[in-house]
Structures are given as C-alpha cells and as structure tokens.
Structure 1
Amino acid sequence: MDDSTVKKLKDQLFVARAYYPSLAKLNGQQKLSHDMKQNIQEHEHMLSEAIVDADLPTFVEKKIQKMEQTIARTKACTVDCKNVDKKLRQILDLTEDEANFHLKQSAFLYQLGVQTMPKSLHCLSMRLTVEFFKSLSTDSKNSHPNKLDSPNLMHFVIFSKNILAAAVTINSTVVNSQVSQNMIFHVVTDAQNYYGMKLWFVRNSYKEATIVVINFEELNLEHLHNDGLTKLSLPVEFRAYIHKMDQPTTQMSTEYITVFGHSHYLLPEIFKNLKRVVVLDDDVVVQRDLSSLWNLHLQGKVNGAIEFCRLRFGQLKMLLGRNSYDADSCAWMSGLNIIDLEKWREHNVTGTYLRLLESFGTKNETSLRAAAFPAGLLALKNLIYPLGERWSLLGLGHNYSVNVEDMKTATSLHYNGQMKPWLDLGIPEYKKYWKIYLTQDEKFMDECNVNP
C-alpha cells in the first residue's frame, strides 16, 4: 500500500516541530509563528486519521505546499542552529521509542488476533448451544447404531473446537467424493462446543455422509484418567527457523510444523472396533476423492503422512535429547493422515508416547504442550509411511508464494501457519479455495455476522 505522501507529511512535521520553539521566541515573527503552529496542528490532524495515502483528504497537496512555504520562510529567519539541532535529536529519540513501542504492540496484537477465536465464531457456537437446549434436537449418534463401529466403512476423524472449520473440511471431503453413503465423520470436540457442534450437524447435511459428534470429556478411557490428559488437545503447530546451507549466503526460512496433539494418541482407545481411520485437521480443504487411501498398503507402518524433509531429526538434537534415532529421518506433518489402528496397537504407540512425555519432564501445561513435538516424532520413528506430495499442499497459512497451479492440482490444501482462512488475517488469495465449501443460507451465521 502506498504511503509516500504520509511519509512526506511526517518529514515536514519533524522539521516544523524542530524550528517552532526557536521561531516562537523571535521578535516580530508572531504572524509566521502562528502560521507554523497552525500548519503543525493541521498535519497532526491528518496523520491521526491516516496510515496510507488513501486515507488522506483530497486537499492534502495544498497543505503540503503551504507547509513547504512556511518552512522556507522560517529558514530565512535568523534562528539558533544549536536549538534546532537539539530539538531534532529530541524528536528522533522520541520517535525511536514510539516506533519500538508500536512494533511490540503490533506483534502482541498480531499474536492475539491469530490465537483468539473471532467474536463472530464464538457467537455462532453460543447461539447454537442455546438453540440446542431450546429445541431438544435428536441425538445423531443413536440414529446410526450399525454404522459407527463398522470397519467396512470409511471412517474420518477430526479433532476440532471450531464449528465452521470442521464443517468446511467435512463438506469439501464429501463434495469431492465419488460415494458418500459409506462415509462416517467422527468430530471429537470439547464440552464447551459439543452441543453447538451437534446442532450444526443436525441442521446441515452433507450428502449421505454420517456425522457423529463426540464429547472428549465424557469418554471413559484408561489413559485419559491415569495420565492427566483430560482436556482435548488439538493438533499443535511449531515454528521452525531452518538454515538454507545450500545458498551462497546463509539464509533462514520459517516453517510451521503441525503434529498430533496428545488426544490423537488415544485414537485406538476411542475407536476400539476400528482397524483404519483417516485423520483430518480442521484447517484442511479436500479437493479430490480420498477413497483410494483405504486400499493403500502401508507396508507395516502405522501412520501414512506427508514427510517434511526440510527438517530432519539430526537438526533437532537439542529437542530429542539422548533418545536413539536416525539423524536422516524426516519430520512428518499432521493434516492428512491414514492410521492403521491395528499396527498402532501392535507397536503400543500410545504407551511409548506417554513414557516419552514423562521423560521430557512435563511439569505444567506449557511444557506438556511443547513436548508433543519431540515425543510424537520419537513415538512414531520408523513407523511413518510417506505419502506423496500430491496428497497435501502445505503452507497456505503462512507462505505468500504458493504456486497457484500446485493449489489447483493438489488432493488437499493445508492452511498450516497462523493465517487461517477463517481469520481476517488469512491470506486473501488463498481464502477462496476455503470459502467455496462454506455453508450458505444458515440463519445463525447471519445473526452472528459470520463472513470470513
């Protein structure tokens, strides 16, 4: 966005403020001093309402010319240069302090913006929850008793607290599937969003797919109570700064690595009768039929995942500690994963993961969350089946230079990163691929002004 005129106004203002104290002390220059003070006030008023040139009033050029003439007349007067220099230095110091303050404030507000649920989405969840208890909606779980545990159907699992995001992921998967009647979506959420989520999927159908909402906090699982993992844990994103050693000068790139949260490691207990599930993150948009995943031979591995080979185990020595591992092994990504639950149970991945969490000395919620990355990598070491890159295109939540043709041909799009498509901070040119699967004509969305 163009701000050249704004910068010119600020430059003039700095000069005018530097000269004004000396000018005000000169005898016989009351008229010039008054004009300078008036110009300063007019510039300050315009800049208080403008960040870029488009915010400025149409008469801004006249004000700039007027200020130039006043500064030129002031410079023609005999003033003490030492005083002007001193004032300029004071302004410079104040400006630097102000810039540092705003830089920190901007960073804080950005983090707040990407980590806080938008007011409209919070409103949607609350309105649906209230409506659920007013309408006493039927329980969708009891409507399909024969389907829920059938290993012959395609079972998808989504851990989410975001109704709209989960709905888009489900809708995109169903719309692009050749057959939908054999698709079961298990949406695992927390108690706060459970009833709103249930009502949403009662009100909105997705072809012939079955949607089941599970309250994580009502599950009666052995590990859940024994290991203190009672709260729903969503996929966790970690920011990695990676050195590009192949460049002429050492450069760094920022990557967002998404891994399973603690709750994912309870999958075999939650779905005791299932043999295979596809796990989708709620920031994924599916663009192709996923049915071939069910026939994919994982060659004895547990987790079919997208490998992220720009980050290898050998680069994570400080995180992985003294545990044994292959330094050339690639990190892997949550987002689109095919899980062989039988192999998971055979290798006791859950038990291994919980032992690793304990070994990392998790004393509080922050350290427990941080341990999800190294513990997840080590618990599934040598058990990852690499899916081809065509299955999922990464980076739509942080990378402004994703290839458009790659986006069109990818089986799924993963908006990993902080700029999620349902946020105002989402990357505009990528949002359209998400918004086309957004539910239309939903009265609660209109009432809560939901318009990502």
Structure 2
Amino acid sequence: MKAQPLLLPALKRRRGPRVAVLALVLCSLLVPLAFLFDRAPSGYVTTEERHRQEVVLPLLDHVAEKRRPSGSGADTRQDALEKKVPGSSAGVIHQQTPDKNISKVIRQQTPEKTISKGSAGVVHQYKQIGSHSTSDGAKPKVSPAPKVEPSDAVSDSTKVARDTSQEGEKADEVEKSKSCQLEFGSYCLWSIEHKEVMKDYTVKRLKDQLFVARSYYPSIAKLQGQEALTQEMKQNIQDHEKILSVSTVDADLPSSINRRMKQMEQTIVRAKSCTVDCRSVDRKLRQILYMTEDEAHFHMQQSAFLYNLGAQTLPKSHHCLSMRLTLEYFKSSSLDSDDSPGRFSSPEYRHFVILSRNVLAASVAINSTVSSCKEPGYFAFHILTDAQNFYAMKHWFARNSYKNAAIRVINYEAIILEKLPKYTIRQLFLPEEFRVLIRSIKRPTENTRMKYLSLFSHSHFVIPEIFKYLNKVVVLDDDVVVQRDLSFLWNIDMGDKVNGAVELCGLKLGEMKNVLGKTAYDPKSCAWMSGVNLINLDKWREHNVTENYLRLMKKFEVKDELSLRAAAFPLSLLSFQHLIYPLDEKLTLAGLGYDYGIDEEVARRSASLHYNGNMKPWLELGIPEYKKYWKRFLVRGDRFMDECNVNP
C-alpha cells in the first residue's frame, strides 16, 4: 500500500516522452503528405496572356486548294485551340489591347463549347499602337543553309538518300513554320527572321549525355559484377554536373571537354550493351522528353507574349515625344490657331478622316498623301484622337506644315460627350484587325488558308454624325503610306453604295456563319477591308447604316471591352452588306506588317501601302525591308524628336 504513491508519479513522468514521440511520428507522416499535395511548379513564372479570340470558319471542300502533307505534331495543339469558343461564336478570337500609351495586359478566359460540325478555322484579332489587312499565309525570307558538295567517293545511292532526307527536313520545317504561325501568329515569322546562331551547341550535347547516363545509372548499379562500370558512370555524371554548373555557353567550357565527352560516350555505349531493365530506362527517357517539350513550349509562349507586348506598347521615345509636345502646347498658346472653319466644311475640298493616337503615324499618313498629289492645297484632314493625345497632336501639326493642306485635330471623346451624348461608345477605337484562318471540315490539317482583315471599329460608325456638313470623305488608317494621287476617288460615282473598299472575294460571308449569328445575310457576299475607304456620307444617312449598326449590336452579347471589340468583326461585315462599292485591288497593297514575301517592285508600283499586322514600321519589330517606304515621309529635324531620341 505504501508503494502506490511512489508508482503514480513514475507513470506520470513516463507519459511526457511518449506524447513527444507520438507528435514526432505524426509530423513525419504529415510533412511528406504536404509535399505530395503541393504540386505547384517552383521554377516557372506565370504571366497573364492577353485576351485573344479565335473564330472557327469553314472551308468548302469542293473549292479546296492544293493539299499539303499532314502528320505534323503541332496539329494536335491547333485542334485543342479550336475547341475554345467565345460567347455564341464557334471558336475563339485573339484580341490585343488597343492602348498604345500603357503596357497593360489583361487575361480573359472564354467559356468552352464544342465546335459545330460545319466549322473549322480561326480568327485572331490584333489591335496595337497604330492600326491593320490582308494577304495569304506569309513566308519569311530565311537564308538557306550552305550546301556541302559530296566527294567523288560517295556512291549514287548515298546521294539519293541524302537528297531525300534533305527534302524531308525542308518539308518538316515548312510544316512546323505553318503550325507555329497558326498558334503564335506573326511572332513565329519574326523569330525565324531574327534567329541567332546557337552558341551553346556543345553545352546542349553535354546535357543530352547527362540525361542518358542518369537514365541508365540506376539499372547498371543493380547489376552484379558491374561495379567498375557503375563507378565510372558515377564519376562521369559528377564531372558533367560540375562543368554544367559553371557553363552556359560553349565559351565557358574547359579545354578538356572533348576528351570528357568521348569518355562519357564510351561509358554510355558500354551501359547500353548490358542487360538492363528497359522499361525503367524507357520511362526515365520519356519523362525527360516530356519535360523538355513542355519547357520548350512554355518558353515559346513567354517569347510570343513578350513579342506581342512589345508590339502593343508605345516605345519610350514616342511616349517622351507626346509628353514634350503636350507640355509645349500649354507653354506656347500662340500656336493654337485653326484655319478658317470654312475649309473644313466646304465641298470644294477633298476631305480625309484619320483615327489615330500616334503622332508620327498620323504625320506620315498625311505627309505621304499631300506629297503624292498635284493639288495639296485642296486637301483637308480631320484627325480624330483621344483626350490623352489631343494636345500633342494639335501642337505637332501647328508646328509642321504639309504643303498648305488644312489639318484639324478633333478630341473624339469630348465631342461625343458634348454633342452626341446618345452614343454610349465614348472611347476612341482604332480600326480593328483580325487574322482569319480557314480550314477544311473534312481535312482540318490540310487546305489551310490565312487572311488578314482590317475592319471598321465602333468609332467609325459615328463619323456621319460628327461631320454632318460633309457628303463624301476618304477614311485612312494611320498605318497607310500613300504613293499616288488619290484625287480620282472623288470622281467615282458609287451609285447607291455607301462604302468604297477593296473586296476579298476569297472570303465569303457564308464561310463565317458561326461568327455572324442568326442575322440574315447573303452567303455569297465578299468580305472587305479598311485602309483606304471612300465613304458617301449622304448615302450612309439615307440607308440608316448607324441605326442598323446599333440595332445589330443588341443581338450580340457585349459584356466587356473584349467582347465589344470582338463584335466589330460581324457588325462591320453585316452593316455594309450590299453597300460595298468594290475598288481596284491595286489601290492598296496590304500585308507590310506581317508578310515577308512581298515583291519590292509590286510595293513600289502600288498606290498605297498598308502596314497591317504587328510589325509596324515605327517599331523595332518592323520588317526592315519595308521600313524605307514609311521613313521616306517622316518629318526630320524636329527638336523634340532629337531630344527624345526618336529614330524609327
């Protein structure tokens, strides 16, 4: 009985360590579980991809073009892209934010739907710091690899085999470039043109050897009697890891690298000759392959994102120019003087309307127009811009003269707010740009056609209300360079038509039924493009085009700016149905902002050049061969351009 009081405290003293041991065991079980459920990748930086939309368009098989070889590995990715659909459309439209002065990037995911049976194709929309239309799939100029002449000792059969393999490689390259353009747009063309020489070829070979050695090492280590090979492979793996830890390019490699690579190659050959568990090796190599493919595709997406961001963002020098002009405007109000209002309302003058936020782009469009005409004194230009760039535009055109042409800068946002409050779209929208991919229904990997369309934005439909005193105008995109006198446009009798434009009869409205909704339309009507458009404002008002446009807009789901700009595609085509007067296709040569294959002689003979696409001539991304046509009409010697280092 006396021993019990001594026993109880002893039991209490032992209970403390037991609880601690149980806690440690519990933690040892929970920590691995925590790592197991935490599957977030640690080495990747997630970026917001700009909202894009793609619309699937059908291609009639009885007018299908020449087939191309199928079997590309990128087709599966393209098919996956075509399964996304915005709103009621049977696809996804790729659209880029229009703001030129801020590099704001927004991502919006569209709901997924199944593609209808009669659909196949893609429409990408691009809006950037300028504007925007059309040519078939562009092919970049890529310098061919130098040919190596075979020696006389090479047999004829070897020559044939080599020629066949080279043709197969060329076909694969063409196929890859096409699929790459379908997924990443004109970035792929630009990346091919600016492809740099590989400076880490040997480093990559070292990594390949290391991957193979690592995949064989676990199986070799388990074999009896291969202790020497196991030790040799382990030593070579450690040597490669040490070299790669301090070397990123071939110039960093030690002088003994060839000997070590040869040793590793001999070790791998010996390992392959051993009887090992092939399933383990195959599993490891496949894992490495999948990781490498995913990483390559990830970096491709990042590169395309940065490329498109550079295409949208106003360069620092251009932003500096706009700010300096705005500041100077308020410092020197004496330059704030407009010409007589009679010049801007007189029917004797030839009136041009330009929507722009870019001072230099609008300046080149006007300068090229007046430099190419015989009577520039009868030209009157109306520039619609936003409130942010209004004062910079006014000061620039007050400082510079353009052969006695009358130029007036209008604050679009202010005039809508003050004089046209009934229109809810008060933000200035530049011409909208779309990349249309048309694919065969039966053969989705073949018969792909690509068209670039530049269409009117929502702001264009307010032009007849802003210029009530005019009866005929020419609407110019600000990325157009005029090379011939356009005075003849005012002598054209369009009859009952409203919009004089270059038509694209290779693209019919019937091929876009999944985008146009349930509205009645003529399936045989041709698509058209903006750039240089002759507008009969009297017929516009007579046909109530603006009212029809507002009525059609109510039928489309407009929830945000993305869906609003996407709606410009069907609204522009439907609003001018049967009201298009076809102009000569030689009037405008489009594609200088994405097509590397335009002949120089054709560009020189064209009446106007349209830099539609991402590669605008005022950007570093612009195609160098085509920049000279734009730079020719750039104002030189301006003080603010020198101070801001503006050198497109």
**TM band (smaller chain):** 0.7 to 0.9
User: Greater shift after overlay, 113-122 or 388-397?
Assistant: 113-122
Q: Specify the alignment match of 2:564 in structure 1.
A: 368
Contact 1:276 1:339 in 2 (8 A): yes
| Residue 270 of structure 1 pairs with residue 448 of structure 2 | no
Aligned to 2:379: 183
SS in 1 for 2:532: strand
Write out per-residue CA displacement over residues 256-288 of structure 1, whole angstroms, 9 at most, x where no aligned residue: 211111111111111111111111000111010
Q: Which stretch has the larger CA shift, 196-205 or 96-105?
A: 96-105
Look up the match of 1:50. Answer: none
- Say if 1:78 and 1:69 are closer, same or farther in 2 by CA, change over 3 A: same
> Aligned residue for 1:68?
261
Alpha carbons of structure 1 residues 29 and 102: separation in structure 2 relative to 1, 3 Å: closer
Residue type of the alignment partner of 2:371: V
> In structure 2, do the counterparts of structure 1 residues 295 and 63 end up closer, same or farther at CA, with 3 Å as the change threshold?
farther
Structure 2: which 5+ runs fail to align? 1-194, 222-226
Relative distance call for 1:63 and 1:192 in structure 2 (3 A) is: farther
| Aligned equivalent of 1:120, options 317, 323, 327 | 317
Contact map agreement 1:357 1:372 (CA 8 A) in 2: no
Q: Which residue pairs with 1:328 in the alignment?
A: 524
Query: Displacement, 1:78?
Result: 6.9
Q: Could you say what secondary structure the match of 2:505 adopts?
A: strand
Structure 2 equivalent of residue 312 of structure 1: 508
Q: Which one of the candidate residues 70, 94, 99 is aligned to 2:296?
A: 99
Q: 1:221 to 1:19 in 2, by over 3 A?
A: closer
Contact 1:224 1:230 in 2 (8 A): no
Deviations 1:115-169, CA, capped at 9 Å, x for gaps: 222222222212211221122243242x333211111101111000111111111
Contact 2:325 2:395 in 1 (8 A): yes
User: Compared with structure 1, are the counterparts of its residues 224 and 367 closer, same or farther at alpha carbon in structure 2 (3 Å cutoff)?
Assistant: farther
User: Is the CA contact (8 Å cut-off) linking 1:20 and 1:37 kept in structure 2?
Assistant: no
Partners of 1:258 and 1:78 lie apart in 2 by: 60
Q: Does 1:40 align with 2:236?
A: no
Q: After the TM superposition, which residues 389-408 of structure 1 pair with which residues of structure 2 at under 5 Å, given as runs?
A: 389-408=585-604
The structure-2 alpha-carbon separation of the partners of 1:60 and 1:208, relative to structure 1 and needing over 3 Å to count, comes to farther
Q: How does 1:158-307 map to 2 (within 5 A)?
A: 158-220=354-416, 224-243=420-439, 250-307=446-503
- Is contact 1:184–1:210 with CA below 8 Å preserved after alignment? yes
Q: 1:87 to 1:284 in 2, by over 3 A?
A: same
Identical aligned residues as a percent: 51
Residue aligned with 2:335, SS: coil
Q: Using the alignment, how far apart are the partners of 1:357 and 1:223 within structure 2?
A: 22
3-state SS of 2:589 partner: coil
Quick one: structure 1 residues 370 and 35, their matched pair in 2 at CA, closer, same or farther if it must change by over 3 Å?
closer
Conserved 8 A contact 1:149-1:274: yes
RMSD: 3.0
Q: Are the counterparts in 2 of residues 287 and 410 from structure 1 also a CA contact under 8 Å?
A: yes
- May I ask how many residue pairs the two structures share in their alignment? 439
Distance 1:315 1:32, change over 3 A: closer
Maintained 8 Å contact 2:603/2:609: yes
Mapped partners of 1:3, 1:414: distance in 2: 32
- TM-score normalised to structure 1 length: 0.88
**Alpha-carbon distance, 1:321 to partner:** 2.1
CA contact (8 A) 2:203 2:248 kept: no
Q: Which residue of 2 aligns with 1:423?
A: 619
| Cα drift, residue 298 of structure 1 | 1.1
SS at the partner of 2:421?
helix
> Which range moved further: 144-153 or 28-37?
28-37
Provide the rounded CA distance (Å) in 1 between the counterparts of 2:619 and 2:463.
29
Cα 1:273–1:64 change in 2 (3 A) is: farther
Rg larger for: 2
- For structure 1, list consecutive stretches of 5 or more residues without a partner in the other structure: 47-55
For residues 403-440 of structure 1, give each alpha carbon's deviation from its aligned partner in whole angstroms, at most 9, with x where no partner exists: 32221111001111222222222222112111111121
Rounded to whole Å, the distance in 2 between the matches of 1:390 and 1:408 is 12
**Counterparts in 2 of 1:223 and 1:403: CA distance versus 1, 3 Å:** farther
Per-residue CA distance 1:348-405 (angstroms, 9 max, x = gap): 1111111111222323322221111211211111111100011101111122222322
Change (3 A) 1:314 1:17: closer
Query: 286-295 or 85-94, which moves further after superposition?
Result: 85-94
Once residues 583 and 209 of structure 2 are traced to their aligned partners in structure 1, the CA distance between those partners, rounded to angstroms, is 61
Q: Do the aligned partners of residues 74 and 167 (structure 1) sit closer, same or farther apart at CA in structure 2, a change above 3 Å counting?
A: same
Residue 152 in structure 1 maps to residue 344 in structure 2? no
Check whether the contact 2:380–2:407 (CA below 8 A) recurs between aligned residues: yes
Q: Do 1:20 and 1:36's aligned partners in 2 also have CA atoms closer than 8 Å?
A: no
Specify the SS of the correspondent of 1:212: strand
- Does the 8 Å CA contact 1:217/1:230 hold for their aligned counterparts? yes
Residue 528 of structure 2 aligns to a residue in which SS? Answer: strand
Q: Which whole-Å CA distance do the structure 2 matches of 1:73 and 1:248 have between them? A: 46
Cα distance in 2 for partners of 1:27, 1:360 equals 70
Note closer, same or farther for the CA distance 1:6–1:63 as it changes in structure 2 (3 Å cut). Answer: farther
CA contact (8 A) 2:236 2:264 kept: no
Aligned mates of 1:183, 1:399 — CA distance in 2: 32
CA drift at 1:230: 0.9
Distance 1:382 1:203 in 2: 43
Per-residue deviation, 1:327:
1.1
TM superposition shift of 1:6 = 3.7
Q: Which residue of 1 aligns with 2:642?
A: 446
Alpha-carbon contact 1:302-1:339 (below 8 Å) kept: yes
Matches of 1:28 and 1:236, distance apart in 2: 64
In structure 1, distance between residues paired with 2:324 and 2:418 = 34
Report the Cα offset of residue 14 of structure 1. 2.1
1:51: which partner in 2?
none
Report the AA paired with residue 134 of structure 1: K
- Specify the alignment match of 1:53 in structure 2: none
Distance (whole Å) between structure 1 residues aligned to residue 548 and residue 373 of structure 2: 35
Q: TM-score, normalised by structure 2?
A: 0.62
C-alpha distance 138-222 of structure 1, shift in aligned 2 (>3 A): closer
1:225 and 1:45 map into 2 onto residues whose CA distance is 61
Residues 47-66 of structure 1 aligned to structure 2 (within 5 Å): 57=251, 65-66=258-259
- For residue 248 of structure 1, report the CA deviation from its aligned partner: 13
1:52 corresponds in structure 2 to: none
Aligned partner of residue 15 in structure 1, secondary structure: helix
User: What letter corresponds to residue 45 of structure 1 in structure 2?
Assistant: T
Give the conservation status (yes or no) of the 8 Å contact 1:276–1:340. yes
Higher relative contact order (CA 8 A, sep 6+): 2
SS at match of 1:309: strand
